[in-house]
A = this chain, B = another copy of it.
Amino acid sequence: MFNELGGMNLLERRRVRTGIEGLDYLLSGGLPEGRTYLVAGEAGTGKTIFALQYVYKGVEYGENGVYVTIDERPEHIVEDALTIGWDLEKLVDENKLMLVELTPYFASVKKINAEKIVEDLKRFIDEIKAKRLVIDPIAPLIIRSEEAIDLISAEFYVRNYIRSLIFSLDELNVTTIATSEIPTGTNKLSRYGVEEFLASGVIVLSLRRVNGTFSREIYIRKMRGVEHNMDVHTFIIQKGRGIVISL
């Protein structure tokens, strides 16, 4: 939130390095520990690579991670990481990473229990003493109300649901990256339009058409308690390194 980088923050929370080259510098060190952050982008902007890099580098820094996948098979995630050069299975075998597929929860539309999900997450986190959590993506966790509701109530219901989810996550003593889908062709930051107000920070990934090609961009849209840079930076995705921001 500060426009001038480089000051001292004696009283601040410990920072969690994102593992993304350049980004930690833009964040004056990293993400404040123990909170929930959105990585928002349309389809194909690199949200999953960002999330993978966050947990993979986390292990390198000595912080274990739980990666919750909902819309993608864990074996696909493993393969995709491998194409960049990140061997997740090795980390899983070493008990440094846990890949969780939440999809079975949705097999039956009617019996999902939000509290049960958080309880399970807590158990996984405890099991490998994780410090990092990824939820990729957050939208499908917003489960439907048990009764049919009108629009005003829906607004109210979704907000309370997401707030309560984020509050529960914050109690797990991990730093959470939740990916947020920007509906294609809109100027929104999230599926429901409230996620960005409830998260402690928002990092935006986008594709910008310039002449006959697309360029990847990243910027920090919101970051509570952090002196962050407000420039829009381009980035590439590189084998062996993942996301590399041009400063």
> CA separation between A189 and B184, bound complex, in Å?
6
Q: Assess A76 versus B35: contact at CB under 8 Å? Given A212-B231, A213-B231, A238-B2.
A: yes
Contact B145 A224 (CB under 8 A): no
A24 interface residue per 8 A CB criterion = no
Q: Assess A186 versus B189: contact at CB under 8 Å? Given A11-B82, A12-B82, A157-B144.
A: no
- Segment at the B interface, from A56-64, A121-129, A134-142: A134-142
Q: Assess A157 versus B167: contact at CB under 8 Å? Given A1-B46, A196-B44, A197-B43.
A: no
Q: Assess A222 versus B44: contact at CB under 8 Å? Given A2-B239, A4-B238, A159-B139.
A: yes
Contact A1 B49 (CB under 8 A): yes
Chain B's closest residue to A46 (CB) is B1
> What's the tally of chain A residues with a CB closer than 8 Å to chain B?
94
Chain B's closest residue to A156 (CB) is B144
Top 7 A-B residue pairs of the complex, sorted by shortest distance between their CB atoms: A185-B187, A44-B222, A43-B196, A3-B236, A144-B153, A80-B225, A144-B156
Enumerate 24 A-B pairs (CB-CB under 8 Å) in ascending A order: A1-B46, A3-B216, A3-B238, A4-B236, A4-B238, A12-B82, A32-B79, A35-B76, A44-B221, A48-B224, A71-B159, A72-B224, A79-B225, A103-B167, A109-B160, A144-B150, A144-B153, A144-B155, A148-B153, A185-B186, A207-B230, A212-B232, A214-B232, A227-B239
Q: Which residues of A contact B (CB under 8 A)?
A: 1-4, 7, 9, 11-13, 32, 35, 43-44, 46, 48-49, 70-73, 76, 79-80, 82-84, 103, 106-107, 109, 137, 139-140, 142-145, 148-160, 163-164, 167, 170, 181, 183-191, 193-194, 196-198, 200, 202, 207, 209, 212-216, 219, 221-227, 230-233, 236-239
